[in-house]
Amino acid sequence: MRVRGQLIKRYFITGLLIWVPLAITAWVLNLIIGTMDQSLRLLPEAIHPRNLFGFDIPGAGAILTLLIILVTGVAAANFIGEKLVRWWEKLLARIPVVNSVYNSVKQVSDTLFSQSGQAFRKALLVQYPRQGSWTIAFLTGQPGGDVVNHLVGDYVSVYVPTTPNPTSGFFLMLPRSDTIELEMSVDEALKYIISMGVVAPPARHLPPPQPHH
């Protein structure tokens, strides 16, 4: 009976390991698609899928959202679009509270998503929260503003994410010499963090130094 109980427990855990990731993935996708489907409210009721075909089409709003984003990008990339974007930003700049929120969010999004930006382009190994305790951080840039007047030496700005939720974390400014650049991609580092260290990326052995002639 004991052996049978152990087998049942093992089979149950094996089933959990298969279904839990699938269920969480389905839940996240459903949440994202459900949120993006709200863009259907921008369309007149007469051309909603339910009124056209007699039933809802899951993901129709998500496709519409992606099309809106793509068309906005194409429109903003030309000369007239850039003028309209500048005009829109000047308009928002005149609204006190909206101006502060919009500028802050825009600066962060420009830093994160800009192809020329360096934020989250490198995974680092840093000592945190105390000496001798190591964790993974992401390079976000260099200190700026009045901060640089109080830091002596070469410092970098890093973001230390929490696990298993990397969207929350800590912002630190550390000497560059106290950081170690890792030979792993940002995606691999995020997987490592989210899995609480269970899903480790493959080790990459650095080539031995070449002798100098």
The DSSP code sequence of the chain is -HHHHHHHHHHHHHHHHHHHHHHHHHHHHHHHHHHHGGGGGGS-GGGSHHHHHSS--TTHHHHHHHHHHHHHHHHHHSHHHHHHHHHHHHHHHTSHHHHHHHHHHHHHHHHHH-TT--TTS-EEEEE-SSTT-EEEEEEEE---GGGGGT--S-EEEEEEE-SS-TTSEEEEEEEGGG-EE-SS-HHHHHHHHHTTTSSPPPP-PPPPPPPP-
Residue 119 CB neighbours (<10 A): 18
pLDDT value at 141 more than 70: yes
What's the pLDDT at 90? 84
What's the pLDDT at 135? 94
What's the pLDDT at 110? 67
What's the pLDDT at 1? 66
pLDDT value at 154 more than 90: yes
Query: pLDDT for 46-100, tens place per residue?
Result: 777 777 777 777 778 888 888 888 888 888 778 777 888 888 888 888 888 878 8
Give the whole-angstrom CA distance, residue 56 versus residue 37: 11
Query: pLDDT for 164-197, tens place per residue?
Result: 777 788 999 999 999 999 998 888 888 888 888 8
Residue 2 vs residues 5, 6, 13, 16: alpha-carbon distances, Å: 5, 6, 17, 21
What's the pLDDT at 119? 62
pLDDT, averaged across the chain? 81
Give the whole-angstrom CA distance, residue 122 versus residue 157: 12
